[in-house]
Each structure stands twice: as C-alpha cells, then as structure tokens.
Structure 1
Amino acid sequence: MEEDRLLQIDEGGGRIFEKEEQRQVTMRSIIAGLGIGSIVLFSNFQFGLQTGWVSMMCLPSALLGFATFKTLQNRLSYEFTDVENVFVQSLAVAVGTGPLAFGLVGVVPAIEKFLRPDEAGGTEKIKLSMVQLMLWSGGLAFFGVFFAVLLRHQIIIKEKLRFPSGSATAILISVLHKTEVPDYEVVSQDESDDEEHYEREHEDDSEDDVYYYKNVRMLLQSFGVSAGYTVMAYFVPILRNLPIFGTKLAREYLWTFQPSPAYVGQGIIMGLPTVSSMLFGAVLGWAVLAPMAKAKGWAPGPMDDWKTGGQGWILWVSLAVMVADAVVSFLVISGQSLYSLYKKSGGDNEASDHVHNRHLISYKTACMGLLASLVLSVAATRLVFGAVVPIYALFAAVIMALFLSILGVRALGETDLNPVSGIGKISQVLFALIVPRDHPASVLINLVAGGVTEAGAQQAGDLMQDLKTGHLVRASPKAQFIAQLIGSAWSVVLSSLVYRLYDRVYEIPGSLFRIPTSVIWIDCSRLVTGEGLPEHVDNFAIAFGIIFACLAAIRAIYTDRWWAKLIPSGVAVGVGIYNTPSFTLARFIGGVISAYWMNRYKDHESHVLMIILSSGLVLGEGVMSIFSLIMTALHIPHL
C-alpha cells in the first residue's frame, strides 16, 4: 500500500514516520559531501583541461559516502540512512560540476589564453583576478539549482523520464542500506508507473555485506592501479606518450599511446559505440586529413600547432562536424520532446508527488530565487567584464539558458547524455545573429554569452539526475535543494582556487594540458563572427558538415532501430579529431572492455560493478593529480 511504502519503522522507539522526516541535513553529511565533491572536482579539472571530458560521478559519490560512514559506524551516534546518503551524493555532485558549469575548462581559458585584444573591444589581454573568477563563478552557480526545482514536477513526477544514471544510483543506495529498492526494469521504461516497486527480501544479510565489500574492493583496487600509474608517469613522462607506432609517426604525426587507466575507465563509461566513433575521428583527422594538409602545404607548421599546423587545420573540420551533428540532433530531439509533451498534456492523469509540502520548495520561493539568480548572473558578469559586454546580450543569454536547459534536461532524462557541447555551439551561432559582427568585442561577447547559456543547461541537467535519485529513494527534495546550494557555493570558491593553481603551476596550454575545449570555443566564436578560415579547409568543413548533418538526422529519427547504433556520432567523431590519438586509443580499449563485460554479464549488479571499476580508474588519476601538482610546483625532477 502507498502509506506502507512511504513509512519507515524506528525499531528503537517503535515510532512510525515518513522517510523524508529522517535526518538528512547534518553537519557530518555536509562535511562528507564537501570532501567527496572536492575529490570529484580535482578529477574533473585534470581531465577537463586535458581533453574536455568531465563526469559528475553519481555512483562512486554515493558509494564513497556509504563507505565513509560504514567505516565509522561504531562511532556514530545515530544510523547513516539511505536518505542521508542521497544528501551526501547530491552535495558532492553539486561541487564536482563546477569546472564545466563555470566554464573553467572551456570559456575562461579561451578568454585568457587565446582572445586577442582587438577581439575584446581593444582592451588589454584579459586575465581574471581571483575575485573576478569567484564573481563569474558565483554568477553562474545558482540559477541551474532553482530552475531544476521548477522543472522537477513536470520532468520527474508527471513525465517520469528515466534518467538512467540517477535511477542506477538510487538502486545502489537502496541495496547498500538494505531498504526498498526501485524496480530497475520498471523505472527504465518511459511508460513506467512510478508507484511500482518491490521489497527486497533479506533472507541473509551477509549477501548484502558481500555486495558492499565487493564494490568497495573493486573501487579501491582500480583506484590504486590508476594512482600508481599517475605517480610512475610523473617520474617517467614517456609513459604518457609511448611511440608504439614508431618514432617517426610519433614525432611528425603525434601517433602515440597513453596507457592511462583513467582514460580506459572513461572509455568504459562512454561505451563501445561512442569510442568507436572517436576512433574513426582520430583516423580521419590524424591519419588522413592532417597529413594531407601538411603534404599539400596548407598546414606548414608543426603538427601540434593550433594555428599553422595540422592540428589547427583539422580543428575546423572537427568544429563543422560537431556543430552540424549538434544542431540537427537538437532540433529533432526538441521536436520529438515537444510533441511528446503536447500529447501528454492532453491527458487528465495528474501525477501525485507523494511528498509532504513541508519537504518541497514552494514555487514562489523557486521563482524568486530563479529571478534573483538571473539578476546576480547579469550583475556579476557585468562587474567582471565591464561595459564592453552589453546588458541586452547578458539578458538574452540567461533567457536562452532557460529555454535550452529545458530541452537539455529532457535529452538527459531520455538518453542519459547532457548535450551541453551542442547547446554551447548553438548558443554561439544564435548570439552571432544577436550581436552585430562589426561590434569591437563581438568575439568576447559571443564567448561570455555562450558560457552563461551552457552553464544553465549543464547544471540543471546534472542536478536533475540527483533529484531523480532522491525521488526513487524518497529523500526530501528540500534537503537535496539545500545540498545543491551548499555544494554550488563551495564549488565557486574551490573551483576558482584550483583553476588558478593549475594555471600557475603548469604551462597552459602545453603538452600536458592542451585545453582543446577552449580552442573549440574561441574558434567557433571567430567562425560565427566572420573570421577567415585556414587555406582550403572550408570545402572540407562544409562537405563533412553536410555528411554528418544527414547522419545525425537519420540516427535521431530512427533511434529505436538496431542499425542506428552503427551510425557514427558527429560529436564523438569531432572529439576524436581534435584530441590527439593517444587519448582516443586508451578510451577505445575501455569501450571494448565495456562491450565484452556487458555481453558476458547481463545482470544489474555486474553492470554497477563495471561502473564502479571505471569510476575508480578515473578517480585514481584525478586524485593523484594533486600529487603531480605539488611535485611540479616544488620542481621535483623527472627521472
């Protein structure tokens, strides 16, 4: 029965109360969430600056939260519950989203490293102070939080979108705590009835302990392997670029292999279809187009030169492929989502939230908070960049962020992929139409406005995953909202500090941190604002753009057909083109491992174990990047 499902028994006092009433916002859970989130944040900076890839680490954050309190269980004054676990995980994700949501691995480095003074209104080269970094980040930190609250009822309660990662995290938390487990097969269906659950029988609690220790052991072992590689790679740098195809190909065409466990883990997370598209892009870009451009004299510089070399030349092809794929896929998905929403709006089956009003954020509070956060965003951006960025462009950016966030959240709920890269490119194209090309700061305005738009979509989508987890576990939405506010505020400070720390210790851009996402941002801004292209690249960019636009349309329309997975993703192909092959090869190995594992072990627990394995590999190198950072700052020599 519904009431039975919502109530928990306090065995100590015999009292019955709603799960939402259990302790969630506690000092211990705040400290744990901030600590775990800080680990995820460092990891995201490491890989975001290297390749542009970040992950919110929902599952490992939940597992780390549980493991922390499991270790301390004999010293706890009261039990660590599943709903408190959701609070810890939600806070950690809010912290970890900072590097991408605040543009610190994309827009900000593009402005600081690549923007010319004549593209910024004739001002001097822009270098943001620590206060300006925090102002910029603070301006972007909160409207995604409030907007996610407003979207929750429509997206999660009424439409019951799947959010596969959020659902899987809910199942992991429930299993670890031996509480009610949502039926994964049921919640994974669009037409699922959210009220259908089953009670997990615990005939032998030792089985649950085995499950827990199995996951923790896998996380620690994979973490250790990756951490060990990171330490070795610092002292023996050749481990980051093994010339497995010969020294000539390595030296002249950058064909090397980086046996990084972290990138293998990323490939496991991405899956074989995505990494296969990336490998196709790597072969197309680095084995065909770049050598051809160099041989014909169109890219005479060194291969790794972003301006005159092959990497800079094929970047424009990559950009055309990604923009074409993103625009077409976005239009098709948007049309399908709006049509689905229209069909559902005609029904009279109003869904019930089954959460007491005192555990919900009122629409009045959410609307007032959203309005205040939008004003804060405009004001903070204006303070950072001054009058060179017009007010109308900033207001247009935040309004566009709201509309694109809706579509981005729906895409994430249906596909488990947040199309923020596509949203960013679409916003850049739209702002090229809003801001005159002859404006002296048109490139800077395009970057800033695009960054604001992308931030809203990124944050709203990632936080909605957590709200899905909380909904399935029956955590308090208000407690999750508090967790997201605390995590976002902490991320503003920590993200700014870590970004500036990386910038001072390492050469950025350099051989280790090439910041490819920043190059994509600045070149896309220059393209849409009318700057010329390298020699002969325009014909290739147009041709490949048309090809992948057609492929994207076919894949989006016939997504339920088995052969749709065989069509390469334009975004993944583009990533394979602009990243050097060393990263892609390691990711492809991970994708092969993922496919083998999924075909051999089809049960849900094995699927979770694979995610834990990959997350440990990623977190190991991400956390040990702190070691590399300290060693580099102290000028400890390599072997």
Structure 2
Amino acid sequence: MRRNNSYQEGDNDDEFKEKESMEKIFKNVPVPKWTKQITFRSIVTSLILSVVFTFIVMKLNLTTGVIPSLNVAAGLLGFAIVRSYTQIISKLGLLKQPFTRQENTVIQTCVVASSGIAFSSGLASYLLGMSDIIASQEETGNTPINIMKLNLGWIMGFLFAASFIGLFSIMPLRKMMILRYKLTYPSGTATAYLVNSFHTPKGAKLAKKQVGSLFKSFGFSFIFGFFQWFFTGGDSCGFSQFPTFGLKAFAHKFYFDFSATYVGVGMICPYMVNFSLLIGAIVSWGLLWPWIQSKKGDWYPSDVSSSSLHGLQGYKVFLAIAMILGDGLFQFVFMTIITLRGLVAEKTGNKNSLSITDDEDPGDSSDGKISKYDDKRRVEYFLKDSTPNSIAIGGYVVLAIMSIIVVPIIFGHRIKWYHILVAYLLAPLMAFCNAYGCGLTDWSLASNYGKIAILVFSSWVGLDNGGIIAGLAACGVMMNIVSTASDLMQDFKTGYLTLASPRSMFVSQILGTGIGCVISPLVFWFFKKAYGVGDPDSLYPAPYAVMYRGMALLGVEGVASLPKNCLKLAVACFAFAILVNILTVLLRKFETTYKTHRFIPNAMCMAIPFYLGGYFAIDMCVGSLILYFWQRKNKKHADDIAPAVASGLICGDSLWGIPAAILSLASIKPPMCMMFLSSADYVKVYSFLNPE
C-alpha cells in the first residue's frame, strides 16, 4: 500500500484523528542507548523464558510439528516478569532504570530466536532422522554409513557452525527490506504494536488483565496435567487413551486425548488450519488406510512389521511426503514469482502490486493514518546504530569458511566441503527470497528449502557413500540459514516500530541463537532419556524424523523402494496439493463477494494426520470451538484475552512434562492405571483374574 504523502503535521482531517500518532504518545519518554536496551535483567528473563519456550516447541515438534506463533506469549511474559520485578524494586527505592518498550522488544527477540532453534535445529526432524531408532524402522538404508549416533557434543557443534551464518546473510539488505520496500512482516508488526500498547497507560491496564488470565489458565493446565499423571501407571493408560467416540474409532486414532497444549494451539491457529487437520485425519485414517489395509498380502507382504516402510507404514509416510512436497513446491514457485513481481513493481514504481494479502494491516507504517512524525522518528532510530555492511559480509565469509571445514568433519566426510560450499553460495539468494516472501505474506518456507536440499544432495552423494546423512545434513545447513534470516528481518520490523536499536536487535538475536544452540540439545536429550522419542508407539513419535529420512531415501533410491501402487497414490496426493493451492490462489484473486477461498483446506495441514491420526486435530478443533463461542458472546473480550489464555494452556501443560519426566527418570510410577476394554475383553480379563 502506498504512503499518503499529502498529510502534514497539524492537519485537522478527521481521518487522522481516528488513529493517534503512536510516537507522539511516547514523545517525552527518552529512548535509551542500545547498550542500555540490553540489560542484565533482560538477559536473565530471556534465559528463563527461553527454557520454557524451548520445552514447548520441542514437545510440539516431537508430536505433531504444528507450532503456533509464540511472539505474543514471549512479549507478554517478558512484560509480566520484568514489570513485576521493577515494581518491587521501585517500591524499595532501588530502581535505577525504568522498564522500556525497547527492553521488552529485546527480550521478545531473544526468546523467539532461542526457541526458534528448537525448530530449525532439526532435533525432531532431520538430525533425529539420522539416528538408529528412525533407521531401524526401515531395512533400506539401515547401514552404518547412513546412521549417526546422536550425542550432545557433535549436535551442539553442528548448531554453532550452522545457525549464526543466516544472521549475517541478510543483514546488508535490512534497509532495503524495511525502509525501501516497506514490507509488512505481519507477525513482527503485530508484536510491535502489542509491545507499544503494553507501555501506554491504557495498554498497561489491558496487559494486566491478559497476564492474570494467562497465569490462571497456566495454573489450571499444570494442575490438570498433574491430576492426569495419577492414572497413567502402565502402557496405554490414562485420560490420553480415553475412547471418546468408541473403541472402534479409538483404534483408528479418533478420540479426544484431553491435551491442554493442543486445545491452546487450536485457539491460536486459524480455523481453517484446524479444519484441514481434521479433514486429513478423516480422509486418511477413516477411508484411505482401511482400504489399503484390505489389500494386505497383495499390495504389501502380510508378515511385514507395522513399522516397516514396505508395509502400511510406507503408504502413510510417502503419501504424506508427496502432499507436503506438492504444497512446498507450489509455495516455492509462487513465492519466487511474487518476489520477482515485487522487485519489478519497485523498479517501475507500481508499489500496489507488492501486496497479495486480502486485508490491509492496520499496523503498517505506510498507512496514511499514521503521521509523518512517526515515520521520521522511526527512520531516525533505525539508521542511528546500524551495523556496517562490511561486518555483515565479512562475518558471513568467515563463518562460511569455518562451517565448510567443521561440518564435513562432524559427519565423517559423508558430506564434502564442496557440497557445503555450493549450499553457502546459494543460501543468500534463498534467504532473500524467504525473507521477502515472509515480509509480504508472513509465510516462512524454510522447511521447504530444506526438503529441496535433501533431494538434491542425497541423490548427488548416493546411498553407498552415505547419501542419507549427506542429504539430511545439507537440509540442516540450508534450513538454518533461511529460517534465521527471515526471523531476523521480522525482528528488525518489530524494532523499527518500537524504536529499538537495530544493533540491540542484532545482538539479542545472536544471544538468543547462542542460548538456543545450548538449550535445545539439552531439552531434546531430556526428552530422549525420559521417553522413547522416535518410537511410533511412544508419547513422542517424532513423525517428521521419519518423513525427512523417507525423503532422503527417495533421493538416493528413487521410487524403486516404494510399496506396490504407492507411487500412483503419491503422485495423486502430489497433484492434489498443487491443485488445492492453485484453486485457493485463483479464488482469492478473482472472487469478490463470498470469499469461499477461506473454506478451502490447506494441503500441508491435511498431510500431517496421515502419519499421526486425528486425536490432536480433535483437540485443536475443540480449541477452535471454544474461541468461536467466546467470540460470539463477546468478540472484543475474546480477541483481547484468548491469546493469553491459550498461551497459558500451552505453557502449563508443556511445563508439566518436566516434573513428569523427572518422576519417570527416578522410576516413580503413578499409583493407578485407567484403561478401557470392550465387554468381551472385560469378561476374559475378569475370568482370568477370578478363576472358579
């Protein structure tokens, strides 16, 4: 959207009275130097919240992989902790520096950067896919050269070698992205306006209500998780095994498992995401898998193990992969076209063609209702403490050289130095495309770039030379660069709108990335030791680890390893994903009245239940229903408080996993086992326990 350049300070137009200048509200509030924005208390708060959020992201990654935006929760919790601390210190007369929105932004940036490593690190996907527990689920490729034994040493080494370079890859383009192209970065903009509102008198009052609601729902979900623990004294016990819709539906993974985490996630995710998950579960577990299972002995051997990719498991994995790749390929091509169109539009001055979103974002700094005073003040502080481009370019070159040396050593030279060199030559272009597309649509396609790297590099190296490990390692290199680059640009947008220094943003990103490189492996190791991570029948089956290794197998072997008719079904799923996306884009572009594109399912979301089942989709739909009826009753109250309630549900239930895991490691078992049996099974059990 183009800026309204006709507005002058002092105009009396009612249009501009509707929206007061944000920076005029803070006109008399001094902006601290960038060194004062990064305080000891902000670092300590960031460290605490980083642990909390890493547990949340890791748990979601190891189960469904559906991760909502945690920016709001990070900003809200950061505000709550530091504001509480400063109020206490202020009453004692010991407060030396007030809590500012810039410091709040630094905390949010650091926390999101560190917890983001839990996703981009691949500990629940490509790195775990190298392990023996995932490799053992398939005979093909289960050789020593295609397996890596996981240990904390090399995992941390790889993350430090690969995670920081993405920050330097996009740094020279910060002015172009934020000031010249004026990209929206919806999540970054929304977070900025949230932080700004917290620190105004009216916003502080609302924030107090949000914090109260967050801690109430946090306490409820934590206590409910503790209550459920008492009934899990054995395999397949507890509320999570409740056959809500009957035993037959339960056998096909349709039940409500009383997970506060996924109810909260469902309240945050859009309705169509949750609806798409449910449709995918019905299509796969309700129709497709029972039909394929009826072909047992014809399409695949009847004596094959349930975890083998040569049996039903192969259809589950490869059909899901096909749909994910189809959706990813479309998004990749679509984003490339949008990026090229945007660049051409910028050259020709037709800036209106840059946006592809349906609704204008009220927080965009190009909005004519925001005064020039805001723009001037924000540009002034955005340019004030910029990092020289020579440092960014030099940092990229130095880190790339270090990574080219270190990464092949870590993976036993299965991936060569020239493979890493090729990846780093292509990475800046990929990082730019992802950051630019994310600025327009809020979609980060980091995982899709990683999947492309898997197929390319695994086929390049070959099975006998460790192509599976090479493909997964290349995925990690590419995914880390592309993901951190778009995250950094999001944070630059947030900092631009809160007057946080770009230098403090960059330093907090580096701190957060460093914290994440240490905390994420430790949290993963905690889950690994306490639970059977990667086992299909465990609490944490890590579905993406199986899928990513399946992609690497596909790269080194081609379609020869697929079960009978699996290729035909996979092609159909691939085509379906592309057609669904094309239909959505066409309806969004040409439909003006009914907006039926909002009711088209998302192909990527439909693919996730193919492997896991529908239980978590039902949980998330329950979250959607709660939000829907809440909004029907009081929309403003729901819009203000629901994100805080959802965040509390997620945090409380996820944090209960820590004491639960400690109890498990200490061999302390729950006192009861709650199970559900059919009437016929009950008679057999009763007869066995009470013989005449």
TM-score for both structures, normalised by structure 2? 0.81
Q: Distance in 1 between matches of 2:509 and 2:668?
A: 38
2:337 to 335, 351, 369: 335
- In the TM superposition, what whole-angstrom CA distance separates every residue of 1:531-581 from its partner, at most 9, and x where no partner exists? 511222211111121122122123235434422222221111111222221
Structure 2 CA distance for partners of 1:120 and 1:367, relative to 1, 3 Å: farther
In structure 2, the residue matched to 1:219 is 214
Q: C-alpha displacement at 1:411, in angstroms?
A: 2.9
Structure 2 CA distance for partners of 1:311 and 1:283, relative to 1, 3 Å: farther
Say if 1:271 and 1:595, in contact at 8 Å, map to a contact too.
Answer: no
Q: C-alpha displacement at 1:473, in angstroms?
A: 0.6
* SS of residue paired to 1:259: coil
Mapping 1:414-433, distance limit 5 Å: 414-432=440-458
Structure 2 CA distance for partners of 1:621 and 1:412, relative to 1, 3 Å: farther
Note if 1:491 corresponds to 2:516: yes
* SS of residue paired to 1:97: helix
Note if 1:134 corresponds to 2:156: yes
2:471 to 446, 459, 462: 446
* Farther off after superposition, 284-293 or 295-304: 295-304
Note if 1:581 corresponds to 2:614: yes
Say if 2:488 and 2:506, in contact at 8 Å, map to a contact too.
Answer: no
* Farther off after superposition, 616-625 or 593-602: 593-602
Q: Distance in 1 between matches of 2:309 and 2:578?
A: 26
Q: Distance in 2 between matches of 1:616 and 1:408?
A: 31
Q: C-alpha displacement at 1:358, in angstroms?
A: 4.7
Q: Distance in 1 between matches of 2:314 and 2:552?
A: 15
In structure 2, the residue matched to 1:401 is 427
Note if 1:554 corresponds to 2:573: no
Note if 1:474 corresponds to 2:488: no
Q: Distance in 1 between matches of 2:303 and 2:607?
A: 22
- In the TM superposition, what whole-angstrom CA distance separates every residue of 1:189-247 from its partner, at most 9, and x where no partner exists? xxxxxxxxxxxxxxxx4x54431221001111221222123223333232112211222
- In the TM superposition, what whole-angstrom CA distance separates every residue of 1:109-146 from its partner, at most 9, and x where no partner exists? 10013247984885384213322111011112201222
Structure 2 CA distance for partners of 1:379 and 1:235, relative to 1, 3 Å: farther
Structure 2 CA distance for partners of 1:305 and 1:363, relative to 1, 3 Å: same
Q: Distance in 1 between matches of 2:146 and 2:326?
A: 34
In structure 2, the residue matched to 1:188 is none
Structure 2 CA distance for partners of 1:394 and 1:124, relative to 1, 3 Å: closer
Say if 2:125 and 2:545, in contact at 8 Å, map to a contact too.
Answer: yes
Note if 1:260 corresponds to 2:259: yes
In structure 1, the residue matched to 2:484 is 459
- In the TM superposition, what whole-angstrom CA distance separates every residue of 1:36-62 from its partner, at most 9, and x where no partner exists? 111101111111111223345111111
Q: Distance in 2 between matches of 1:301 and 1:348?
A: 63
In structure 1, the residue matched to 2:268 is 269
Aligned length: 605
In structure 2, the residue matched to 1:194 is none
Q: What amino acid sits opposite 2:108 in the alignment?
A: Q
Say if 1:332 and 1:553, in contact at 8 Å, map to a contact too.
Answer: no
Q: Distance in 1 between matches of 2:30 and 2:58?
A: 42
1:34 to 47, 58, 81: 47
Q: Distance in 2 between matches of 1:124 and 1:606?
A: 50
Note if 1:114 corresponds to 2:134: yes
In structure 1, the residue matched to 2:625 is 592
* SS of residue paired to 2:107: helix
Q: C-alpha displacement at 1:285, in angstroms?
A: 0.8
Mapping 1:92-491, distance limit 5 Å: 92-112=111-131, 113-115=133-135, 119=141, 122-123=144-145, 125-178=147-200, 205=201, 207-237=202-232, 238-251=238-251, 253-297=252-296, 298=299, 300=302, 305=307, 307=309, 310-347=312-349, 353-355=379-381, 357-432=383-458, 435-437=460-462, 440-491=465-516
In structure 2, the residue matched to 1:526 is 553
Structure 2 CA distance for partners of 1:312 and 1:267, relative to 1, 3 Å: farther
Say if 2:382 and 2:499, in contact at 8 Å, map to a contact too.
Answer: no
* Farther off after superposition, 117-126 or 508-517: 117-126
* SS of residue paired to 2:99: coil
Note if 1:78 corresponds to 2:103: no
Q: CA RMSD in A?
A: 2.9
Q: What amino acid sits opposite 1:430 in the alignment?
A: V
Q: What amino acid sits opposite 1:24 in the alignment?
A: Q
Q: C-alpha displacement at 1:446, in angstroms?
A: 1.0
Is the radius of gyration larger for structure 1 or structure 2? 2
* SS of residue paired to 2:465: coil
Q: Distance in 2 between matches of 1:125 and 1:18?
A: 52
Q: C-alpha displacement at 1:481, in angstroms?
A: 0.8
Q: Distance in 2 between matches of 1:547 and 1:9?
A: 51
Say if 1:397 and 1:453, in contact at 8 Å, map to a contact too.
Answer: yes
Q: Distance in 1 between matches of 2:158 and 2:588?
A: 39
Q: Distance in 1 between matches of 2:423 and 2:323?
A: 24
1:545 to 566, 574, 593: 574
Structure 2 CA distance for partners of 1:383 and 1:596, relative to 1, 3 Å: farther
* Farther off after superposition, 490-499 or 470-479: 490-499
Note if 1:632 corresponds to 2:679: no
Structure 2 CA distance for partners of 1:401 and 1:51, relative to 1, 3 Å: farther
In structure 1, the residue matched to 2:38 is 25
- In the TM superposition, what whole-angstrom CA distance separates every residue of 1:376-429 from its partner, at most 9, and x where no partner exists? 333331221122211122222233333222222233222223223322222323
Q: Distance in 1 between matches of 2:567 and 2:141?
A: 22
Note if 1:535 corresponds to 2:535: no
Say if 2:106 and 2:508, in contact at 8 Å, map to a contact too.
Answer: yes
Q: Distance in 2 between matches of 1:551 and 1:272?
A: 17
* SS of residue paired to 2:255: coil
- In the TM superposition, what whole-angstrom CA distance separates every residue of 1:469-516 from its partner, at most 9, and x where no partner exists? 111011101011111111111111111222222212211223201000
* SS of residue paired to 1:107: coil
1:60 to 62, 66, 73: 73
Say if 1:278 and 1:577, in contact at 8 Å, map to a contact too.
Answer: no
In structure 2, the residue matched to 1:185 is none
2:528 to 486, 498, 503: 503
Q: Distance in 2 between matches of 1:609 and 1:90?
A: 22
- In the TM superposition, what whole-angstrom CA distance separates every residue of 1:6-53 from its partner, at most 9, and x where no partner exists? 799897xxxx85555682011111111111111101111111111223
* SS of residue paired to 2:667: coil
Q: Distance in 1 between matches of 2:203 and 2:341?
A: 43
Say if 2:272 and 2:599, in contact at 8 Å, map to a contact too.
Answer: yes
In structure 1, the residue matched to 2:683 is none
Structure 2 CA distance for partners of 1:438 and 1:10, relative to 1, 3 Å: closer
Q: Distance in 1 between matches of 2:496 and 2:615?
A: 41
Q: C-alpha displacement at 1:337, in angstroms?
A: 1.9
Ranges in structure 1 where 5+ consecutive residues have no aligned partner: 179-204
* SS of residue paired to 1:80: coil
In structure 2, the residue matched to 1:612 is 644
Q: What amino acid sits opposite 2:660 in the alignment?
A: S
In structure 2, the residue matched to 1:192 is none
Structure 2 CA distance for partners of 1:559 and 1:627, relative to 1, 3 Å: farther
Q: Distance in 2 between matches of 1:592 and 1:375?
A: 52
In structure 2, the residue matched to 1:44 is 57
In structure 2, the residue matched to 1:190 is none
Q: C-alpha displacement at 1:432, in angstroms?
A: 4.9
- In the TM superposition, what whole-angstrom CA distance separates every residue of 1:230-282 from its partner, at most 9, and x where no partner exists? 2233332321122112223324x333321211101112222111111111110
